[in-house]
Chains A and B, each alone.
Chain A
């Protein structure tokens, strides 16, 4: 498949994902993103009024193998924004994807930011 080969050689670029109206304040939504390794499911979290308002993290939950992270509850533990997996409740740090209950597990994260009302991601 030529597109797959092409994808492998792609460098990271900024791409538009959705608009501010697609986000859910203080919670998450899921989106598809094209990465150099192929399409990936990403969970976008929106914390209006916080120092960092947008986070993008793997939608895939490695503990249940289901794509559900965007449906978890967002919160903070000891000041760090986290999401709790809706299936087995592990916490993942939004900043870097680190699982707080299991040091060996880290979710992928992406840079994401607003350009006006548009949400852009670097992947």
Chain B
């Protein structure tokens, strides 16, 4: 008896869409019906091209891969990578590659597109590249090694991404765009101008309205680009990013119907003019459109899989709305963003030239529906607008409220309640609100489970915030309590724990655990709740963290009042208030560093860091420092760190106030204050801002009439400028408002939440904060001041406290049964100093 031979299904192309088709085939059971073979031209398995640029910031091909060879093997799919199909022989129903001929019964083209390189003479010179594949990125990286300047031709989405990559490779970067503005498809003239300003501010030169005529040898650089107006630009490296063209040559050569300007014509079932052959993704032309986004490609893959199984799903076009962050600049485009495809459409526009934000609404002629929107500079409006657009939700009476700044007359965000069941939540995987609800009905009890069941938010991730809001809302409406607990030991948030500690006057972790701990878990706590509670107790009562009851709560840095470094030694940072230090004290720091063989470095916060101290040496080091008049710098704590200063009116020709004196006063007032996150301050003596006060949690800048107060800035991974909070304050007012501000933050912030993130999440924003702090709208001003005064009054140098207590010093023994030092700490030297080997 013959075993029936399965029909052969061949997929040409293993990009994001080709791979999604394979997943759909597996999911819909097509691998039972067909013997599947996939051809990929690249060496790599399908990878996440949406996040391609991360390849430059350290992600490798493996981590960008969407799947594994094992997945293909497991489902019996033959994967032939690095094997390009050169011909489709429709007469024999075979595909041809350099390695052989393969028969097919059904064939899917998922060949995608290629980057368009404008036909400029000289476009094939060495160092003229494109930005499309991992190989392209490797080539750019190699070329950048010997280049100092780079130009991207094309100011669209991919062009700006490429420009950012060049910038990341330390090239002086320029973008050349043919159209009169950047991202001409997504933004209008005003939005484009704002985008240009923002991108130029990042150090990228922007040249718009420029057509390159030829590329020739340069004089100072490798290439010279000559523009239509005879102006020239010299550069070492050129990346073309001027749009995409469908890779339809296989289809064309085999006689399939091709669109006038390229692309394989498909119908609603993704069938080409030959019913044995389907096409999906960027090679496919549907209704005269090529879709250059991944979400429509995924939808086509799903339809194609159904077609192959004689199902009846139809592709009905796709929404091209996009939300992007390019070089840190938000750009959003929804529906008919230009308003030129909707007769009678009316437009609302909002432009804030200071905050550099631009928003535009395109509304139907009757004012009831949103037909398009455009955002530059702030995408926080995107999700709500998209829901109005995609679900045809009736607009509020005053549509402009949707784009007015939050905090004024702005309309509230659209709650999950207002969304119809058909609302698309995740467009990559086409997940609707109804899908999410039925996943929850089917037993998914948290965000992770919903993601697993629906795949929502596992594509580009743009819907993560919306999905979380919806899941929380749906769980709550089903009576499931959404768990906001700090950890398994307490069914409370940090804010709730803070209030409990304050109100009930609880002074130890064990008492808090006894009275409010989760009765189901054990009583020890963990490395999440213990330091959080330690910080709350310290903010409220300011008892020494080295007291026996508090010792087990502390992270190693707080336990040993020094910062642990990677080899287990510690760094010592004495306080240098305001950055002012006497020569005598400087000498002592040098002597101590010499004696204990410490590596020394000036910190970013105007202090001196002594690295490499052994645990058992810490008390002796601090003994000598305290003897010389130093005190702890709290560099190890989530607490007040430094107050940076310029020299102000003391020495500077321009200083209008004594910034050093004020910095010292501020540092001495708030030293020892523990908070949810470390706190940094700065005081500048004039608007030249040499102390960089606007990058701090609290920044103070002198004016002719007093002090301007800025709040909620920070450096770090996600820098944020502080915002102007109050102007021309007297010394007394300044301290009062800082007292209130800091205590209000400590009271209401989440665990490890810095002031900037706290500020971003604060309902009502900066205006609300001003009401509470400056106008005392909650009537808690005095209480906050009193609480701060209590912390100030109980200040004690923790190191002085510890070294005067033999019991506390026992903690600093390297070993309890032997005084020999840890032999595994090994040093080497570099630039004349010791460092860990």
Contact = CB atoms under 8 A, between A and B. Distances in A.
A18 B815 CA distance: 10
B653 interface: no
A115 interface: no
Contacts of A79: 521-522
Contacts of A22: 810, 816-817
Contact of B568 (A50, A66, A81, A82): A66
Contact of A41 (B488, B530, B822): B822
Contacts of A66: 566-568, 824-825
A24 B815 contact: no
B814 interface: yes
B488 A87 contact: no
Contacts of A73: 526-527, 530-531, 552-555
Interface string A42-79: 00100100100000000010001111100111111111
A24 B811 contact: yes
A29 interface: yes
Contacts of B548: 25
Contact of B525 (A24, A25, A75): A75
B552 A68 contact: no
Contact of B560 (A18, A44, A71, A77): A71
A72 B556 contact: yes
Contacts of B566: 64, 66, 87
| Most chain B CB atoms below 10 A, which of A71, A72, A84 | A71
A76 B521 contact: yes
A29 B824 contact: no
Contact of A32 (B527, B559, B810, B818): B818
A54 to B, nearest CB: 13
A35 interface: no
B524 A86 contact: no
A32 B824 CA distance: 13
A47 B818 CA distance: 23
A78 to B, nearest CB: 7
Contacts of B817: 17-18, 22, 31-32
Nearest to A88: B566
A30 B815 contact: yes
Interface in B755-799: none
Q: Which of A27, A47, A75 has the most CB atoms of chain B within a 10 A radius of its CB?
A: A75
Contact of B551 (A27, A75, A77): A27
A29 B814 CA distance: 8
A32 B815 contact: yes
A60 B823 CA distance: 12
Given A26-B524, A41-B822, A68-B568, A86 B815 contact: no
Contacts of A89: 527
A56 B467 CA distance: 45
Interface in B150-165: none
Interface string A84-96: 1011010100000
Contacts of A41: 815, 822
A31 B818 CA distance: 7
Contacts of B525: 75-76
Contacts of A18: 816-817
Main SS of chain A's interface residues? strand
Contacts of A82: 526
Contacts of A25: 548, 552
A91 B555 CA distance: 14
- Give the dominant DSSP class at B's interface: loop
Interface residues of A, number: 38
Highest count of chain A CB atoms <10 Å: which of B566, B811, B815, B820: B815
Given A25-B552, A29-B816, A73-B552, A47 B488 contact: no
Nearest to B531: A73
B362 interface: no
Contacts of A50: 524
A64 B567 CA distance: 7
B109 to A, nearest CB: 44
A91 B528 CA distance: 12
Contact of A64 (B521, B560, B568, B822): B568
A71 B556 contact: yes
Nearest to B556: A86
A81 B813 CA distance: 24
A76 B530 CA distance: 11
A75 B567 contact: no
Contacts of A32: 815, 817-818, 820
Interface string B99-142: 00000000000000000000000000000000000000000000
B551 A86 contact: no
Interface string B480-498: 0000000011000000000
A68 B815 contact: no
A76 B524 contact: yes
Contacts of B825: 66
B435 to A, nearest CB: 32
Given A64-B566, A66-B824, A68-B564, A75 B527 contact: yes
A18 to B, nearest CB: 4
A91 B526 CA distance: 10
A59 to B, nearest CB: 9
B137 to A, nearest CB: 30
Contacts of B814: 30
B569 to A, nearest CB: 8
A110 B13 CA distance: 57
A102 B409 CA distance: 52
Contacts of B524: 26, 47, 50, 74-76, 81
Contacts of B564: 68, 71, 86-87
A24 B488 CA distance: 24
Contacts of B552: 24-27, 73-74
A86 B811 contact: no
Among B524, B526, B564, B822, the most chain A Cβ lie within 10 Å of the Cβ of B524
Interface in B503-545: 521-527, 529-531
Nearest to A78: B488
A43 B489 CA distance: 25
Contact of B526 (A27, A65, A77, A86): A77
A67 B824 contact: yes
Nearest to A45: B552
A86 B530 contact: no
Contacts of B531: 73
Interface string B213-224: 000000000000
Nearest to A73: B527
Contacts of B530: 73, 75
Contacts of B816: 17-18, 22-23, 29-31, 44
Nearest to A80: B522
9 contacts: A23-B816, A50-B524, A64-B566, A66-B566, A73-B530, A73-B553, A82-B526, A87-B566, A87-B568
8 cross-chain pairs, A with B, having the tightest CB-CB distances, nearest first: A75-B526, A66-B568, A26-B552, A86-B556, A84-B527, A73-B527, A22-B816, A76-B524
Interface of A: 17-18, 22-27, 29-32, 41, 44, 47, 50, 60, 64-68, 71-79, 81-82, 84, 86-87, 89, 91
Given A50-B524, A76-B523, A81-B522, 19 more contacts: A22-B816, A22-B817, A23-B816, A24-B551, A27-B551, A27-B552, A30-B816, A41-B815, A47-B524, A64-B567, A66-B825, A67-B568, A68-B568, A72-B527, A74-B552, A75-B525, A76-B526, A77-B526, A79-B522
Interface of B: 488-489, 521-527, 529-531, 548, 551-556, 559-560, 564, 566-568, 810-811, 813-818, 820, 822, 824-825
